[in-house]
Amino acid sequence: MLKKYLAVLFVAVIIVVAGVTAQKSAGDRVTVVPNEAQRRVDISIDGKPFTSYIYPEDMEKPTFYPLRAATGTLVTRGFPRDPRPGERVDHPHHVGLWFNFGNVNNLDFWNNSYAIKPEDKHKMGTVYHRAIVSAKSGANEGTLEVDADWDNSDKKVLLQEHTKFVFKGGADFRSIDRITTLKALGDPVVFHDDKEGLLGMRVRRELEQPSTTPATFTDASGRPTTVAQMDNTGVNGNYLDSEGKSGDAVWGTRGRWCMLSGKVGDEPVSIVIFDNPANPGFPTYWHARGYGLFAANPLGRKAFDPKAEQMDFTIPAGQSATFRYRVVIFSRTATPESIEAAYKTYISEVK
């Protein structure tokens, strides 16, 4: 009798696990396939890899890596996980597409990586993936829901994160919606005014803006990183925001959306981040650097504009805040008019 009961229980567990890891059918164009043994979830569209949500033990945050256009062309930088010839090897915390911040209760989540010295680790925060809540494939879209914790160096949880991702794609585009709710636990959580945040990605060398001089950038803790001038052959990226600003002038300005366009070889690529009017700090500041960092930061203010009042965004204990973004990769040179139309569609769909 006990053996029969255990056999039934085993089958039930398998069914439950299968319900989480393989909710898909033959008609699904967008597939979302978890592989918890390899600490990843693979997303494919029309049978072609799009991206993977990864949470390896040697990284201090989950991230989407790599990201591909509809053609299959990689649009994110390879370093440090898969270095490619000719690309920059600065900022080892810039991996794929991620979500964290540079000063949360005086802890640095943004800059944390394997490169931080052991004696400085207590200054850093870590985002730990905790659970895949749901993974669903579909004919028109796929979804993934996950839970994560934002911990200090003593593994005390400051924030509980619940995020829903929505994946879509067509002949010439791929997109990810991110809807993240952060809940403060036993104490208030303060996002101190800082330029290092919040939704960021690091693009491949060709999509950087051509660099003419070396530059040194300093993070919130005063650590410098020198970004050298490099061979600009094939490098042709350029930023354009919803307010009409372009190139280096985009950094530190605010807007509803921002686009990075360029070519990889002969292939045109346009990457767009949409902010949402329901987000804290809307419209976001753009932490958009010519060397390939493309980030939306609604929680910095004085960090971008010394004349502005300091913004210290607080989530009271037991309360939460929600952030909503859409990232779209077009396999074409998108026009401002087409992006504005796509933005209006986005804000009608995600509120």
Token pair, residue 83, equals 């270095």
Please give the backbone phi and psi of residue 37, each rounded to the nearest 5 degrees, phi first: -65, -35
- CA dist 89 and 309 (Å) reads 35
Letter string b/e over residues 124-154, b meaning 16 or more CB atoms within 10 A of that residue's CB: bbbbbbbebeebbbbeebbbbbbebbbbbee
Please give the backbone phi and psi of residue 19, each rounded to the nearest 5 degrees, phi first: -65, -30
* Residue 39 region by backbone torsions, left for phi larger than 0, else alpha for psi between -120 and 50, else beta: left
For the chain, the 3-state helix, strand and coil shares in percent, each to the nearest 5, are 15, 40, 45
Burial grade of 176 (CB within 10 A; 0-12, 13-18, 19 or more): buried
pLDDT digits (tens, 9 = 90+) for 153-171: 999 999 999 999 999 999 9
pLDDT digits (tens, 9 = 90+) for 199-254: 999 999 999 999 877 777 666 566 778 877 788 999 999 999 999 999 999 999 99
What residue segments make up the domains of the chain, in order of their start? 2-349
pLDDT band for position 16 (cuts 50, 70, 90): very low
Picking from 286, 276, 213, 230, the residue whose alpha carbon sits closest to that of residue 253 is 286
User: Which comes out higher in pLDDT, residue 284 or 15?
Assistant: 284
pLDDT digits (tens, 9 = 90+) for 88-130: 999 999 999 999 999 999 999 999 999 999 999 999 999 999 9
Residue 1 has pLDDT above 80, yes or no: no
pLDDT digits (tens, 9 = 90+) for 17-76: 444 555 667 789 999 999 999 999 999 999 999 999 999 999 999 999 999 999 999 999
* Topology adopted by domain 2-349: Beta-galactosidase; Chain A, domain 5 (2.70.98)
